[in-house]
Amino acid sequence: MIHSLFLINNAGDLFLEKHWKSVISRSICDYFFEAREKAVEPDNVPPVIRTPHHYLINIYREKIFFVSVIQTEVPPLFVIEFLHRVAETFQDYFGECSETTIKDNVVIVYELLEEMLDNGFPLATESNILKELIRPPTILRSMVNTITGSSNVGETLPTGQLSNIPWRRAGVKYTNNEAYFDVVEEIDAILDKSGTTVFAEIQGVIDACVKLSGMPDLTLSFMNPRLLDDVSFHPCVRYKRWESERVISFIPPDGNFQLMSYHISAQNLVAIPIYVKQNISFFETGSSGRLDITVGPKQTMGKTVECLVVTVHMPKVVLSANLSATQGTYNYDPVTKILLWDIGKLNPQKLPNLKGSLSLQSGAPKPEENPSLNIDLKIQQFAISGLKVNRLDMYGEKYKPFKGVKYVTKAGKFQVRT
Amino acid sequence: MIHLIMDTFLRYLKEREQEQLVKILSFMFYIFRHDDLKEMLDSNKDSLKLEAMKRIVAMIARGKNTSDLFPAVVKNVACKNIEVKKLVYVYLVRYAEEQQDLALLSISTFQRGLKDPNQLIRASALRVLSSIRVTIIVPIMMLAIKEAASDMSPYVRKTAAHAIPKLHSLDPEQKDQLIEVIEKLLADKTTLVAGSVVMAFEEVCPDRIDLIHKNYRKLCNLLIDVEEWGQVVIINMLTRYARTQFLNPNINESLLEDSSEKAFYASDDEEDEDKKAEAAALVKRKPYVMDPDHRLLLRNTKPLLQSRNAAVVMAVAQLYFHLAPKAEVGIIAKALVRLMRSHSEVQYVVLQNVATMTIKRRGMFEPYLKSFYIRSTDPTQIKILKLEVLTNLANETNISTILREFQTYIKSMDKDFVAASIQAIGRCATNIGEVRDTCLNGLVQLLSNRDELVVAESVVVIKKLLQMQPEQHSDIIKHMAKLIDNIQVPMARASILWLIGEYCEHVPKIAPDVLRKMAKTFTNEEDIVKLQIINLAAKLYLTNSKQTKLLTQYVLNLAKYDQNYDIRDRARFIRQLIVPTDKSGALSKYAKKLFLALKPAPVLESPFKDRDHFQLGSLSHLLNAKAGGYQELPEWPESAPDPSVRNVEVKDSVCARRTVLTGPEGAGVLLLQTTRGILISLFRQMTHELLHHSHSEQSSGTEDRKRGRKAVKNQKSSSESESESESSESEDESEEESEEESESDTNIRKKKTIAPSGSIKMYELLHRITGEGLAVEYCFSRQPFSPDPNMVAVQIQFTNNTNSETKNLHIEEPRLQSGMRIREFAEIGLQPSESVTVVMGIDFCDSTQAANFQLCTHTRKFFVSIQPPVGELMTPVFLTENDFKKEQGKRMSAHPRFSTPSCSIRVTATANLSRVPCGSDKECRFAGKTVSSGCLVLVTVTTKEGGRAQLTVNCEKMVIGTMLVKDIMQALSQ
């Protein structure tokens, strides 16, 4: 399936290559570079590129292109999903997935890639198994390693691979047994000029951090499971119990993982926490424009909106902005043409406002389109869909774990058209 | 060596001066460092070796050539340090192909590893051995794969499956032998192996569909537990398999579609004949019945739509698209829309597939229209695909919303996207007649846009739209004629010229003037524009030769000396055709007809049309071209191949049959027919079981199994006799089965368990994950527990899913409510993958309190509990109708209730009661007594007019009576 993998940074330097079958010359990447140049933006590089004898399937993540070489028919999503899994594994191991960390840990990266694919077919992609095979680097361990010459390859053999629950390590032990769940909801919305909702939906995930000894069997139930009509689960979740009882029953992987994600698309259920009043206009003459944005709370259920940020991608002709903000700070980057207004906490008594003039390139025609606003926000201890965890039960082990649930609502792809 | 370096050094210095110096120095450093590494590898300190190997691997990662170190590295293949060893493997696999002779030195180490008692070492030895691409060791690899394929450890067998494609690509001549291994591994029952071996199958022999037959049902059933990557491969393979083996579930619908289309085009008298023929065809065609195996596949893949892995979701979606009946395909839409939230690469692929699907099945995605709305932050390629989907989804009802969206898109800063939006508007306008004028007006407004690209794109689209009804729009044509002075984009200029030429009669005054202007600039135009100028000239010459004769001559003369031979050719050709000379042939008479023939309007089609002949989700579909190794998705067969090929040994086929019975159709059939025939046969079956049980008083092992088989057989034959919907084929098949069954040795089915009849429900006592491989299920067998008649018989089935023997299975420390008693089963042991059934008795004291106890193996203890539904606390009693009425008079606490139309089967399924023979069709009566105290329980269901029914339960024990009413009500109203 997957023949080779090349990692290429944003500047076009190929800094890592790995082959699982015969070696393929790195000159194959010339086709990629060609497409990269044509696309201008890295986002626009087609994920599948055809070359005379091979196919290149690539993803762009954390400013790195993961370019894989394919020779025969294979579902493209299979490869794309795998490449993302590779990137996630790097992130898991090194804290971040960047060119520097990959270069610093090149041997571990190589060992990981070796274990993840055999002859181009995925072998071990569960982080629990991989961590048993190859220990993630820590500062302490690397120091010990340099002094004693010991290695970061696990002495034990990956028993997880043999078991029926490949996602969990065997013999987990903790002195403090704890299980935390984060319900994170993101609002995706498009509001039109007048403030009416064109489209809105909620994307939710439940991230878990489970540090429990032994083989705990957990059951998570909700107060209102009927809200969730479209869900996807980590492989550890038993589909059948969800279908019949609407509870999530699972033996968790050890450590951090995403338990489930869900999607609520019924528009009447989606509350829009803020409203935006904006007026951006460009004058026919005098190469200038005016900008006036006010943000206010709408449906916040009494919670405070925090980390409010408004981002505006200005048209190319806007040279500079001379604005004044009643709250927070603003910054206009004349190179990327991005106006960023960092408001912070939303105060319902005194609505934040950003007002002033824009100066345009002289002589250039006035821009046709008004730029749309992207909103970022955060509401703590609140799930906008109203989803609530009812209880978490544990079977199979005797100790009493410490349990916790946290709710956060964020803005996802939240856009206001002007 | 040094000499050589010095040489190059000097030469380079001469040629390139300073800057190369650095390169050379680094090269020298490189050589010396290699010597350094060699020394480190030869040392006897592991830490030095490790350091050296790390540096070498880092060089490999950067693509540096380190092949000269091969001899030094390969020596360390037997190193004790695991990390050194692993890195040596990495090196070896990378360079073995180049240094075949030296690589052979390492082989013996791996051969030794293949015999290691530890399964993980065996597996890793096989993995490296098979990755060394050296032809000389092919026989060794073949031998190792064959051995590993019958290894005890499933992990080693998995590795063997992985090794098969490696060997195949190294030496395709081994194909036949490898197919044998694949066949063997396909029969493997563990989830670990399934994905890998199907992968091998797909790479080595994807056309050997016959190998799948016997494993089809097993693969379907294992699917949910296979790891995600394996799931993708298996689902894709099964899609192809199903296309060859089952009938098209939409066959009747497609026939209907055809007929409606024909009726539209056919003339009247033809129509009659057609209708007759169709009617005949419809009569001839049997009503479509879905093969139970086809249903099995659809049912078992459905939950995977909820996988977190986009590739799995896509695989299931394409399976449903290609295999499911139309009415069921809709469920995939929601899952696919969910994927749209994922990474942009995933979005890209999913949108491509959605675009193809929306052409065939538009209705499916219509509810999700808004999910395809475009954000200004989307990458352009995603925007364009979303636009495609929106255009495909447009219809009369939603077009106004979509057009409003499109209006916002036209103002975008992303000009490629704007151009695509304009084309999309054009397509909507051609497809939906009602909005054509609105769209056209909108597009005309765009002609005054400041951006030239927008104007050009509009011109091209307007040209296409005008072709549909040119008469009404001569003012638009005039407007466009004016534009020619300003627009510079060649395609747009060419479009305008064509438009003027084509409709020159509508703009008789303007056309010659345009030609005059164009003649002036002819030499500076692009080639496509020049061709259109010639075209315009020719058309004008034919319609208005008085004004344009000279101009045409002039243009043709210019074209005659053009640099481009296409243009020279065209000019010569047109001159011959339109300018009459003595020699001009017969054609010139028809010149006017040729040039001014009525041209059909272009059809604006989606580029995704007909892409669905590629299997969706495949690379070939994405590229719209066949990729290497792509397996065609076969057409549905005309008539279904023999379904019995999928029957394995009796055990499996019985299982499959059971699923059919309990599945939705089976249940539907049973429930729909409320004739007495069913009830009686069901009754007969139950008595059968009871009678049989009285023969075998002690529950010795073999007796037990036989009974199970009989019970299954009875149930089968009875269900077959009534359910008419079962096709004749499957009846044949099951007859064969039962013959087979009676002939076959009981030994074969040593492990065979009592299959519960359709109405007996299995409960889970211990999940195989919690039980660490030990799965325990139980059911209430509804047979008297012979050692103690006051106890309820609980039949427990143990399955050992581990690789080791489970010993000393027994019960300990029952914790019971007062008065409750347990009769334990004798201690048993389980071989790997064996399953055994035992019967234990519990006296629940006529209460639904759970019985708690510990289930112990030789290593572990599990807390489990059994809680009986109230219906299981009774045993049937045989009463006559008169006795029943007499008893009923004595009992108190009737519970009159109203419920929906009922069925006796549901009552007997809920509670262990027996039917009382009864004269009236409207009434069903059931009788039983509680197991421990022997209280009579009488149930009456009376059907009333209007589909209502009354339920009466008579019992001395209030609690039991009330609970029973509740349970039966629930069963009836389901």
Measured distance CA(A44)–CA(A35) in Å, rounded: 9
- Which of the 8 DSSP states describes residue A267? G
User: Which residues in chain B are contacts of A76 at CB distance < 8 A?
Assistant: 349, 617-619, 622
pLDDT(B784) > 60: yes
* Token reading at A401: 């774990």
Average pLDDT over residues B686-714: 42
pLDDT at A22: 84
CB contact, 8 Å: B90 with chain A? yes
CB of B335 less than 8 A from some CB of A:
yes
Written as one letter, the residue type at B788 is D
Tell me the pLDDT band of B692, cut-offs 50, 70 and 90. Answer: very low
Contact residues on chain B for A263, CB-CB shorter than 8 A: 337-338, 341
Please write the tens of the pLDDT for every residue from A318-330: 888 888 889 889 9
Interface residue A214 vs chain B (CB under 8 A): no
Q: Each residue of A99-136: pLDDT tens digit?
A: 999 988 888 898 899 889 888 888 888 888 888 778 77
Residues of chain A with CATH 3.30.450.60: 2-146
Closest B-chain CA to A267: B370
What's the confidence (pLDDT) of residue B604? 73
- Quote the CA–CA distance of A175 and B18 in Å, as a whole number: 64
Give the mutation candidate from B308, B614, B633 for the A interface (greatest A CB count, under 10 A).
Answer: B308
Taking contacts as CB-CB distances below 8 angstroms, the residues of chain B near A70 are 619
Beta-carbon contacts of A266 under 8 Å, excluding residues fewer than 6 positions away, are none
Same fold: B762-869 with B872-972: no
CATH architecture observed for domain A178-270+384-416: Sandwich (2.60)
DSSP characters for B198-225?
A: HHHHHHH-TT-GGGTGGGHHHHHHHGGG
Among residues 436-475 of chain B, which lie with CB inside 8 Å of chain A? 449-451
Whether chain B has a CB inside 8 Å of the CB on A82: the answer is: yes
Establish if B189 touches chain A: CB-CB under 8 angstroms.
Answer: no
Helices and strands in chain A, H and E counts: 7, 23
B82 touches chain A (CB under 8 A): yes
Q: Model confidence at B142, in pLDDT bands (50, 70, 90)? A: very high
Which range (A19-23, A165-169, B255-259, B509-513) has the least confidence? B255-259
Determine the Cα–Cα distance for residues A112 and A93; give it in Å rounded to an integer.
10
Q: Are A215 and B770 in contact (CB under 8 A)?
A: yes
Query: B2 at the A interface (CB within 8 A)?
Result: no
- Of A80-89, A233-242, B560-569, B707-716, minimum mean pLDDT range: B707-716
How far, CA to CA in Å, does B258 sit from each of B247, B252, B255, B274, B589?
18, 10, 5, 11, 44
Q: Nearest residue on chain A to B53, judged by CA atoms?
A: A107
The identity of residue B629, as a single letter, is G
B618–A232 C-beta distance less than 8 A: no
| Dihedral angle computed from the Cα positions of residues B521, B524, B529 and B531, in that order, rounded to the nearest 10 degrees | 90
- Reduced to 3 states, what is the DSSP secondary structure of residue A203? strand
Q: Is the pLDDT of residue B25 over 70?
A: no
The reply to whether A16 touches chain B by the CB within 8 Å rule is yes
| HSE-CB of A201 using CA atoms within 13 angstroms | 21
pLDDT band for position B964 (50/70/90)?
confident
Distance, C-alpha B613 to centroid of its chain? 16
Q: Which residues of B touch A44 (CB under 8 A)?
A: 379-381
Tell me if B94 and A55 make a contact (CB, 8 A cut-off).
Answer: no
Is the pLDDT at B685 greater than 60? The verdict is no
HSE on the CB side for B111, CA within 13 Å?
11
User: B872-972: which CATH architecture?
Assistant: 2-Layer Sandwich (3.30)
Answer whether A76 sits within 8 Å of B63, measured CB to CB: no
The answer to whether B317 and B328 are in contact (CB under 8 A) is no
Distance from CA of B57 to the nearest CA of A (A): 7
Q: Out of A89-93, A226-230, A283-287, pick the least confident.
A: A283-287
Q: B642 pLDDT exceeds 90?
A: no
Q: What is the pLDDT of residue A405?
A: 92
Write the DSSP assignment of B289-353 as a string of letters.
Answer: ---HHHHHHHHHHGGGGGBS-HHHHHHHHHHHHHHS-HHHHTHHHHHHHHHTTS-HHHHHHHHHH
Predicted confidence at residue B20, as pLDDT, reads: 57
Which residue from B minimizes the CA distance to A197?
Answer: B370
Residue B680: its pLDDT value, please?
37
Interchain contact A125–B (C-beta under 8 A): yes
Q: Does the pLDDT value for residue B748 go beyond 50?
A: no
Q: Look at domain B762-869 and name its CATH class.
A: mainly beta
Cross-chain residue pair B350–A265, CB shorter than 8 Å: no
Instruction: Say which DSSP state A370 is in.
Output: P
Provide the residue ranges of all domains of chain B, joining segments of one domain with +.
Answer: 1-28, 29-240, 762-869, 872-972
Of B65-79, B136-150, B298-312, the range with the lowest mean pLDDT is B65-79
Q: What pLDDT is recorded for position B897?
A: 47
pLDDT band at B765 (very low <50, low <70, confident <90, very high): confident
Q: Which residues of A touch B82 (CB under 8 A)?
A: 151, 153-155
Chain A residues within 8 A of B411 when measuring between CB atoms = 368-369
Question: Could you give the CA distance from residue B694 to residue B714 in angstroms, rounded to a whole number?
Answer: 16
pLDDT tens for residues A219-258?
A: 999 998 888 878 888 888 888 888 888 899 999 988 888 9
Q: Which amino acid is at B489?
A: V
A-B CB pairs within 8 A amount to 247
The reply to whether residue B227 touches residue A80, judged by beta carbons under 8 angstroms, is no
Burial class (CB in 10 A: 0-12, 13-18, 19+), B654: buried
C-alpha A172/C-alpha B538 separation (Å) is 86
Query: Which residues does chain A have within 8 Å of residue B192's beta carbon, measured at their own beta carbons?
Result: 162
CA B721: distance to chain centroid? 36
| pLDDT number for residue A220 | 92
| CA B566 – CA B552 distance, rounded (Å) | 18
% of chain A surpassing 70 pLDDT: 93
Q: Which of A72, A81, A110 sits opposite B627 (nearest CB)?
A: A72
Contact B622 A84 (CB under 8 A): no
Tens digit of each residue's pLDDT (9 = 90 or more) over A327-349: 889 999 888 888 999 988 888 88
Q: What is the mean pLDDT of chain B?
A: 76
> Predicted confidence band at A146 (pLDDT cuts at 50, 70, 90)?
low
Q: Give the minimum alpha-carbon distance from B348 to chain A in angstroms, rounded to a whole number.
A: 8
Contacts of B89 in chain A (CB under 8 A): 114
SS (H, E, C) B347-383: HHHHHHHHHHHHHHCHHHHHHHHHHHCCCCCCCHHHH
* Residues contacting B513, CB < 8 A, separation 6+: none
- B18: closest CA of chain A, how far (Å): 24
From the list B162, B411, B627, the residue facing A369 with the nearest CB is: B411
Nearest to B244 by CA among B206, B286, B277, B192: B206
Contact flag A81-B311 (C-beta cutoff 8 Å):
yes
Whether A309 contacts A376, CB under 8 Å: yes
Angle at the Cα of B701 from the Cα atoms of B699 and B705, rounded to 5 degrees: 95
Distance between A381 CA and the closest CA of chain B, angstroms:
24
**A358-387 residues touching B, CB cutoff 8 A:** 365, 367-369, 371-372, 374
B99 to chain A, any CB pair closer than 8 A? The answer is no
Q: At what angle do helices B728-743 and B650-662 cross, to 10 degrees?
A: 140
Task: Give the CA radius of gyration of chain A.
Answer: 25
User: Which has the higher per-residue pLDDT, B713 or B27?
Assistant: B27
**Predicted local distance difference test score (pLDDT) of residue B701:** 42
| Confidence grade of residue B892 (pLDDT, cut at 50, 70, 90) | low
Nearest Cα to Cα of residue B906 among B917, B893, B918, B915: B915
Candidates B343, B408, B373; CA nearest to A189 is: B373
Is A121–B196 a contact, with Cβ atoms under 8 angstroms apart? yes
Q: Residue B27: which pLDDT band, with cuts at 50, 70 and 90?
A: low
Average pLDDT over residues B269-295: 62
pLDDT at A80: 94
Mean pLDDT is lowest, of B147-151, B345-349, B489-493, for B489-493
Among candidate residues A239, A225, A240, A234, the one with its CA nearest the CA of residue A252: A234
Categorize the per-residue pLDDT at B703 as very low, low, confident or very high, splitting at 50, 70 and 90.
very low
Q: Are B775 and B801 in contact (CB under 8 A)?
A: yes
> Which SS3 state, helix, strand or coil, does residue A224 take?
coil
More confident residue, B762 or B616: B616
Provide φ and ψ at B790, rounded to 5°.
Answer: -90, 5
Which CATH architecture fits B29-240? Alpha Horseshoe (1.25)
For residue B742, pLDDT over 70 is answered with no
Q: With 70 as the cut, is the pLDDT of residue B3 above it? A: no
Stretch among B151-155, B572-576, B821-825 having the lowest mean pLDDT:
B821-825
- B positions 310-329 inside 8 Å of A (CB): 310-311, 313-315
Are A346 and A297 spatial neighbours (Cβ–Cβ below 8 Å)?
Answer: yes
**What is the spatial distance between Cα A195 and Cα B668, in angstroms, rounded to a whole number?**
51
**Contact across the interface for B623 and A50, Cβ inside 8 Å:** yes
Q: What's the rounded Cα separation, in Å, for the pair B800 and B857?
A: 11
Give the three-state DSSP class for A294: strand
DSSP-derived letter for residue B227 is -
What is the per-residue pLDDT for B955?
77
CATH number at A2-146: 3.30.450.60
Beta bridge partners of B914: B927
A357 lies within 8 A of chain B by CB: no
Residues of A in contact with B50 (CB under 8 A): 149, 151
C-beta separation of A256 from A209 below 8 A = yes
Find where tokens 């691997």 sit.
Answer: B57
DSSP tag of A134: B
- Residue A44 touches chain B, beta carbons under 8 Å: yes
Yes or no, beta carbons of A81 and B236 under 8 Å apart: no
SS3 at position A161: helix
Of A46, A76, A153, the CB nearest to B82: A153
Domain A274-380, classified CATH 2.60.40.1170, yes or no: yes
Of the listed ranges A378-382, A398-402, B603-607, the one predicted with least confidence: B603-607
Instruction: Say what the pLDDT of residue B655 is.
Output: 35
* CATH 2.60.40.1170, chain A: domain bounds: 178-270+384-416, 274-380
B534 touches chain A (CB under 8 A): no
Which percentage of chain B shows pLDDT scores above 70? 78
Question: Residue B426: is its pLDDT beyond 60?
Answer: yes
Phi first, then psi: give them for residue A191, nearest 5 degrees. -105, 145
In degrees, rounded to 5, the angle at the alpha carbon of residue B231 between the alpha carbons of residues A81 and B343 is: 20
Query: Can you tell me the ipTM of this complex?
Result: 0.90
Whether B725 shows a pLDDT value over 60: the answer reads no
**Is A255 touching B (CB cutoff 8 A)?**
no
pLDDT score at B949: 72
SS3 B952: strand
- Identify the residue among B313, B619, B624, B633 best suited for mutation to test binding to A, counting A beta carbons within 10 A and taking the highest: B619
Interchain CB contact of B801 with A (< 8 Å): yes
pLDDT band at B230 (very low <50, low <70, confident <90, very high): very high
The confidence band for A81, taking pLDDT boundaries of 50, 70 and 90, is: very high
Across B106-130, average pLDDT: 86
Looking at residue B229, its pLDDT comes to 92
Residue scoring higher pLDDT (B616 or A362)? B616
Q: How far is B120 from chain A (nearest CA, A)?
A: 7
User: pLDDT tens digit string along A165-214?
Assistant: 778 877 788 888 999 999 999 998 888 888 888 888 888 999 999 999 88
Chain B residues within an 8 Å CB radius of A58: 345
Handedness of CA A92, A96, A97, A99 (dihedral sign): negative
